[in-house]
Structure 1
Amino acid sequence: MLQRWRREGRRLVMTTAYDAVTARIADSVVDITLVGDSVGNVCLGFDNTLPVSMAMMNHHLEAVARTRPRTLLVADMPFLSFHLGIEETIRNAGGFLQRGAAAVKLEGGAKRIEIVRALVDCEIPVMGHLGLTPQSVNVMGGFKVQGRSADDALRLLDDAYRLQEAGCFALVLEGIPAELAARATETLEIPTIGIGAGSGCSGQVLVFHDVLGLTRVHRPKFVRAYTDGFQLLQDALSHWAADVRSGAFPRSQESYRLPEALAEPIANWAPPSVKA
């Protein structure tokens, strides 16, 4: 389906969802919903994605899957879920599909070819992820733009082609020069989804909370917030708190009423006598 949309010139839209609320909001708008390991940064208070476990990912995937989204539902393979052997990788990825995901996403290039082939052989669709791969933050020395040297750029193009040949149905390209992402896109048959990779990709992904301005931490250069959701929600909550403190909430229409027949018995009720 994604390949057909690419051939038709349709730009793909992907965002993240971590619970039923965000999933329902996104479902009527985007093409692909990603239950990302970015839940660690966005919702769980971690500095990066490395502490996110399979148990955490399963918990959030199940919440999203219960909404029965119409979008393509992809789940991120977290750190160490695909590093300790093919059998465990298949078990973890297969568990995602059993919980409602339609595909999995994993980070890395040439080192992941054997893993991708094994997953595809087990009928598990795989989305690749190249460039700035957050699970490699320590090796990269931080969240830095990738592919700026000749060797790194050519390696990324090689990795993109090899992942396609191994069976990936799409690739996320993150934090790389726009020209490099465009070159990868034009040479691949599968679609690319960019994040901090310029406009030459087949589609774009941003974190749900970043698009809606719900975060108050430093936003990367490639993020565009379309509203100040944090301030809007804080203002609404402050308005409600003020109404509670002034007695303006709740009103009669926000309260339940006692049946008229019970008015007299309730009014005449007295505490029972307490026996010694």
Structure 2
Amino acid sequence: MKKLNLLSFALVGTMALCIFGCQKKEGQTSSTSTAGQDQISASTKSQISKLGFSTENARKVKGGYLVEGDILLSEKNLNDAATTSHLSIAETEQYRTTNLVSGLPRVITISVTNLPTVYSNAVNAMITRYNNLGLRFTFQRAAAGDVGDIDVVGFNEGPSGGYITLGSSGFPSGGDPYNEIQMNTNAAAYGSNPNLGYLTSVLQHEVGHCIGFRHTDYSNRAYSCGGSAVNEGQSDVGAIRIPGTPSGPDAASFMLSCSNGSDRTFNANDKIALNYLYK
């Protein structure tokens, strides 16, 4: 999920350090987070680690386990074996998992369930951004009343441990995109009047996970989020470097773990990565 560092808010105002999909959870140190940790067995933590995800602040949630702030791993994810041995220890390039969307070309439908209009408008803007890339999939809104291949839903969760989760999603399974994006409707997440561009950038990031992208700085989330450097090493779910993306830091990537709270869209290297996988 996207994460917002409330401590940074006090320093730099209303748009402080935000963690895109996964990071919000990373920073949680509250009793709620501890309780979630206590619900995770040692064997499950081992599975999470084997997949190449940090178990720090991982927690049990509905549908599975939330790791790295905004990535939801289901029980099926934990038991899926890798389909390739082309895995690498991450540096700072764009990375994908072994799970991608297949059956291309295809149309992927997106629905919005019980969310304010600004969230629906942000979904439309996100769809336009992806569709403008000319990839082998296109997004479109599901018909009224239908649940799409990806359903954008809401949850309400306040700050915890100096952070607040902005959104979360998961990785593809069986060739299909992950089927749900959760967006936080708590006023502490986006304010009482959410900014359309900012919401769009969070959704864009979460969709990136839904189609198989890991965080650009997965090897060292301190790059965008601060804190201690962590490299999770090789993994079964895949941390596969995408050819043509840089080996140095990429400050503007839409898949960075954390954001400065601005409207971050695709940069040149993000487009290289998306084109390599899906064009």
TM over 0.5: no
Q: Identify the structure with bigger relative contact order (alpha carbons < 8 Å, sequence gap 6+).
A: 2
TM range (shorter): under 0.3
The structure with the largest helix share of the pair is 1
Larger radius of gyration: 1
Higher strand fraction: Structure 1 or Structure 2?
2
TM-score (norm 1): 0.26
TM-score (norm 2): 0.26
